[in-house]
Structure 1
Amino acid sequence: MQRHHHESLCQRKQTERAKMDAVRSAARVADLLVATVDGGVQELYINEKRIELEARALLATIAWYRKQTDQWLAATNAINSVLKEIGDFENWMKIMDFDSCLSDGLQADAFRTMHYDRRSKYDAIVVTGDARFTRLHVHQLELEKTNLLLPGTLYPLQEHCPGKL
């Protein structure tokens, strides 16, 4: 009986040991499972924080680029309006130049028809309102031979408005 009792005690100890080993193994498995799940959750949490920081940085960069683009558009619009004004001014200047050449030509024609002095049959003194062209001699015979002038007509030299009139 003692032996039976002894075997029973040994068996109980062995069962107790096996039970403790099973509990430890189960706890270890549970800890490993929790660590694995927690590790994934922890990694997801870290990635989520990193993504949030990158999203904030991206939004700040987008805001900066939007502001920069607005500044560029404003500068481009200003340049375009200045170029338009320059074009308008240039067109106005061309019109004024043409009008002044036309006015000078008409004034010279009127003045010439009223005041000219024939020195000989083929030489003439052309008098215009511009001091640069006062008392210019035109040899009309040579020009008439080239069929550029009508015979007997006096033509002023208007070099200050080339290509006009």
Structure 2
Amino acid sequence: MLSSLVKENAEKQAKIREMNDNNRKEALAATETVTNLMTDSVQSSMLEVFAAQKKLEKEVKGLQSNTHHFSRQTHQWYDMITEFNGGLKDVGDFQNWAKTVEWDMKHIASALDYVSKTES
């Protein structure tokens, strides 16, 4: 009787161990499946992020190139405007000089007229 109870107990424990082993194997397989799915999802997201980063870097380089070009062009325009302003200043100085010469000539002509009238 005792030996049959021990034998029954041993059989039950063997079945429980077998069920535990099967459950453990199923849990490991499910865990592996979930891990693989999560890894694939993360990898897919990372590839999208990497592609977006590369695209952004390319656009940044293009924008930097455009900015450099526009900066150079603006500097050229600034130099042209500065030169033009200098030319306008010279024209203004020339006009002022011409007016001064004209005023002096009128006074000289007036003085010569006065001298010629008083001598006659």
Distance in 1, Cα, partners of 2:102 & 2:33: 100
Residue 50 of structure 1 aligns with which residue?
Answer: 55
Written as runs of structure 1 = structure 2, the 5 A alignment for 1:52-91 is: 52-91=57-96
Q: 1:108 aligns with which of 104, 109, 113?
A: 113
Residues 29-81 of structure 1: CA deviation (Å, up to 9, x unaligned): 11111012212221221121112111101110110111111111011101100
Secondary structure class of the residue paired with 2:75: helix
Point out the structure with max Rg over C-alpha. 1
Identity score, percent: 23
Question: Aligned-residue CA RMSD in angstroms?
Answer: 2.5
TM-score by length of 1: 0.56
Runs of 4+ residues deviating >3 angstroms? 18-24
User: Whose helix fraction is larger, Structure 1's or Structure 2's?
Assistant: 2
Name structure 1 gaps, 5 residues minimum.
Answer: 1-7, 116-165
Matched, 1:99 2:104: yes
Question: Residue in 1 aligned with 2:10?
Answer: none
Whole-Å Cα distance in 2 between the matches of residues 103 and 32 of structure 1? Answer: 105
- Cα deviation code 1:94-146 (max 9, x no counterpart): 0010011011000100011112xxxxxxxxxxxxxxxxxxxxxxxxxxxxxxx
Q: Which residue of 2 aligns with 1:127?
A: none
